Every structure is written in structure tokens, then in C-alpha cells.
Amino acid sequence: MTPQFIPCILSTLITKDMVAAYDTYDYPSYWDGREYEHEAEIIAIESFLKNIPKIKTTLEIGAGYGRLTPSYLFRSSKVVLADPSAKLLKIARDNFKEKNIEFIQSSIENLPNKIRRNSVDLIVLVRVLHHIRDINDAFQIVSRLLKKNGYFILEFANKSHIKATAREFLKGNFTYPLEIFPKDKRSSINKNKKTIPFVNYHPDQIIEKLASLGFEIIEIRSVSNIRSPLVKSLIPREALLFIEKYSQNILSHLKFGPSIFILANNTR
């Protein structure tokens, strides 16, 4: 999601007072015309699932209206969809009638009060991290909720993707790939209005933070590698997804794409 799509409200997406930005924003409509990006994320998740031997309970934090739920639902005995937005969770409830799905309206900070410690086999956190101010606290909560050797599927907006790096090089900023501090993509006007954060992270920072908290990286994928309106208009989606499927692993070594997916194991 780019900054112009961020709702201008006086709260973050995931806050302790449960005021949810996406209650005031038509998030399902955001995905109209973004079928390639959606399917690219499904490819990454389904690939990760092949590396997980057994899943009893899956928790998706920031699940929204359940866009990604079908990709992992078949592997889990129990699924918990958590989101601060009552509006989005209502859509999810209407879409999923399976008895093994539980819905929790909650911020990430409050989840430890609603879910038993060390009780989850898999946690999914996709298109959420860029709205979280304290990633250290978020990762600690994930570690607390996961069972020992539980799995974590994480997505984050990649600060050092190829287009951003090329853009900085053209400006003469040749040290950009080494600048690991986060970058808030909001305009100065939106920052002054205290809109929700939209932070891109350097992959090295995320990997280092996960390792410091006892996560072992199993696999990394570069996702949405051909996210270009022009290319999407010229090449059929099926062809784009074929290229995407076989390039995600290869391009992960270059941290190429705008979105990075990580599969990690909680060793603590």
C-alpha cells in the first residue's frame, strides 16, 4: 500500500485503544486490480507451508477480511483471525462459516491477554509490520504466543528494493543499500496530521532483530517482483505469476522486490 492510500486519522492501525484505521477505509476495494500482487503473496505462503510439517493452530495478526485465509486454512485444525477493525472482521465472519475459525477483535499489544502463551503453531503477519511503531515489541509478542519451534510467516515492505535503490543511486546516494534504519514513506503533511505509520524496513534490520529474539530464518522470498502497472498491462497475469513463482527464491538473494516474506522458526 502506498502512502496516498493511508487514511488520515489520529491513530495507528494497531493501537491499544482499539481505534482502527481500516474501519474508515474500504480495504477490500484496494485489492481491485491488484490480483497479481495478491496471487504473488499466495505463492510465497503456500511455498512456506511445504516446510512446516504439522499445524494445529494458526493465528493471523492483522487478518483483515480474511484475504489470505484460504491459503492456509486447509492446513490448520484451528484458525484465529485477529484484527483491530470490527468492520473487516465482520466481512471475514460473513465469508467464512467454518466452525474451526475464531475471530478476535484485538490490537497486537492486547493479544497476550486473549490467547494463551505458547499455544500457537503458526503466526502469519502480512502487510501489517509497516503500520507498527515498535517492531521489537511486536516480535516479542509473536515469540510469546508461539509454541517452541512454532513458525512465523512475516511480510514487510522492503526499503532496499531494486527500484528504490536505483532511484537513490540516480540522486547520487551510493551508500543507500547500507542505510539500514527504517524509512517512513508518509509525506511531511501526513506526518503532521499523525496519520498511521507507513514504514519500509531494510531486510538486514529485520533479520538481525528476529535472530536476536531467538528466531531461526528458514527461507526468504522476494515477492511482487514485477509490480509495475505498465508491465501488468502488457503481459497476461498467468505469465507474470509463472515468472513470479520461479523468481521469488532466486531474487530473494538480491532482496529485489518491494515485499519480502520470511519463514522463521521460534527456537525459544
User: Mind listing the pLDDT tens digit for each residue in 38-77?
Assistant: 999 999 999 999 999 999 999 999 999 999 999 999 999 9
Average pLDDT of the chain to the nearest whole number: 90
pLDDT at 197: 82
The residue type found at 119 is S
Report pLDDT for 9: 32
Segment 155-197, tens digit of pLDDT: 999 999 999 999 999 999 999 988 998 988 765 545 555 678 8
Burial 165-191 (b: 16+ CB within 10 A, else e): beebeeeeeeebbeeeebeebbeeebe
The CATH architecture that domain 3-266 belongs to is: 3-Layer(aba) Sandwich (3.40)
Q: What is the pLDDT of residues 192-212, one digit of tens each?
A: 556 788 899 999 999 999 999
DSSP bridge partners of 122: 58, 151
Q: How far apart are CA 118 and CA 69, in angstroms?
A: 22
Distances (CA, A) of 250 to 14, 111, 247: 33, 35, 5
**Would the pLDDT of 222 be above 80?**
yes
The pLDDT, as a whole number, for residue 186 is: 67
- Lowest mean pLDDT, pick from 12-16, 58-62, 165-169, 248-252: 12-16
